[in-house]
Structure 1
Amino acid sequence: MAKISLRPLDDRVVVQPQEAEEMTAGGIVLPDAAREKPLRGTIVAVGPGKMLDSGNRGELTVAVGDTVIYGRYGGSDIEVDGKEMKILRESDILAKVL
Structure 2
Amino acid sequence: MKIKPLGDRILLKTEEGETQTKGGLYIPQTAQEKTQTGVVVAVGDDKDVITVKKGDKVMYDKYAGTNIKIDGVEHLIVKMADILAVIE
TM-score, normalised to structure 2's length?
0.93
Q: Distance in 1 between matches of 2:19 and 2:39?
A: 19
Spell out the pairing of 1:1-98 with structure 2 (5 A cutoff). Answer: 5-49=2-46, 58-98=48-88
Q: Is the 8 A contact 2:65 2:77 kept in 1?
A: yes
TM-score, normalised to structure 1's length?
0.84
1:59 is displaced (CA, Å) by 4.2
1:25 is displaced (CA, Å) by 2.2
Q: Distance in 1 between matches of 2:22 and 2:65?
A: 29
Q: Is the 8 A contact 1:13 1:47 kept in 2?
A: yes
CA-based RMSD of the aligned residues comes to: 1.2
Structure with higher Rg: it is: 1
Q: Deviations over 1:14-45 (max 9, x none)?
A: 00011111012222100011111111110000
State the identity %: 40
Gaps in structure 1 of 5+ consecutive residues:
50-56
1:13 is displaced (CA, Å) by 0.3
The secondary structure found in structure 1 opposite 2:30 is helix
Structure 1 runs (4+) greater than 2 angstroms displaced: none
